[in-house]
Amino acid sequence: MTKRLKIVSWNINSVRARTALVERLLDEHQPDVLCLQETKVVDGTFPSDLFRSRGYVHMALNGQKMHHGVAILSRLPLNDPGRHDWQDNGEARHVGVRLECGIRLENVYVPAGGDTPDRNVNLKFGQKLDFIERMTRWSDGLCEPTIIVGDFNVAPLECDVWSHKALLNVVSHTPIEVEALGRLQQAHGWIDIGRKFTPAPTRCFTWWSYRSPDWTKNDRGRRLDHMWASPELAGHLAAHIVLEPCRNWERPSDHVPLICELHI
C-alpha cells in the first residue's frame, strides 16, 4: 500500500525567535517530518513542547548556543540517529536519522564561507570547501536510499541567482563552490529534487537578504536551500514546493521552507 511522506526543510534562523512561524507552518502544511537548520539553541532549551503538542514526539537534535544547530522533528519514529562533523571543529551542522520506511534522512547546514572567495586569505571559505569535500567522500561510499536536505549555502546554476554576472565573484555562487557542489552531486548521483520539479532556467529562489527593505521589489534572491535524493528514489518523488509566501510572514527568516512529497 502506497503512503505519502511529506518532508519540510527550513533554515529558521533561530527557532525560539520564530516559534509562531513554525507553529503556522505545521498547522497549515502538516508535514510528517520537519528538518530545521540554524536553530541557534542548545538541546536542553530547545522548544520541544511546541512540537510535542502537535504530535511531533520524535526528535533528533544537534544544537549549539547562539549559532548553527540542526533538528529533525517527526510524527514518525526516528531510528539510528547520527552526527557527522563535516566542519571538523565540533560545530553543530548535521544530524541524520533512518525512517521506518528504510530511507535515511540527513539534515545539513553548510557554512556560509565568509565574504572573500579565497581560502588563502579567508579561513571560513576554506572550511566551507573542506566541509563539502568531506560530504563528497561520505556520498561516494553511500549504499542506502537517502534524502539529504538543508541550507547548502551554494546556488549552483546561473538561474539560481538574480544575476549570474553580478554574483560570479560573490561567495555562494563562485565557480569553485559550484564545482565543489557538482562533485558532491556526482559522487552519489544525487537527484536535485528542486530542479526535477522546477527545471532550469525557471526562476527558483529560497533566500533573500534582510538588507533590502522590500525583498520583492528587486527580487534579488538565491537558491541556497536544497533537497537531494538517491537515484533509486527517483520513482517515489511526487512533488516539490518552495513556500515563497513565508518570506512575507511577520519577523520572517531570510530563508523559506521547502516541501518534498514522496510516495513510498
> What architecture is domain 4-263?
4-Layer Sandwich (3.60)
What is the DSSP secondary-structure string of 215-252?
Answer: HHHH--EE--EEEEE-GGGGGGEEEEEE-GGGGGSSS-
Domain spans of the chain, in order of start: 4-263
Q: What is the pLDDT along the chain (264 residues), one digit of tens a residue?
A: 789 999 999 999 999 999 999 999 999 999 999 999 999 999 999 999 999 999 999 999 999 999 999 999 999 999 999 999 999 999 999 999 999 999 999 999 999 999 999 999 999 999 999 999 999 999 999 999 999 999 999 999 999 999 999 999 999 999 999 999 999 999 999 999 999 999 999 999 999 999 877 888 889 999 999 999 999 999 999 999 999 999 999 999 999 999 999 999
183-203: buried (b, 16+ CB within 10 Å) or exposed (e) per residue?
Answer: ebbebbebbbbbbebbeeeee
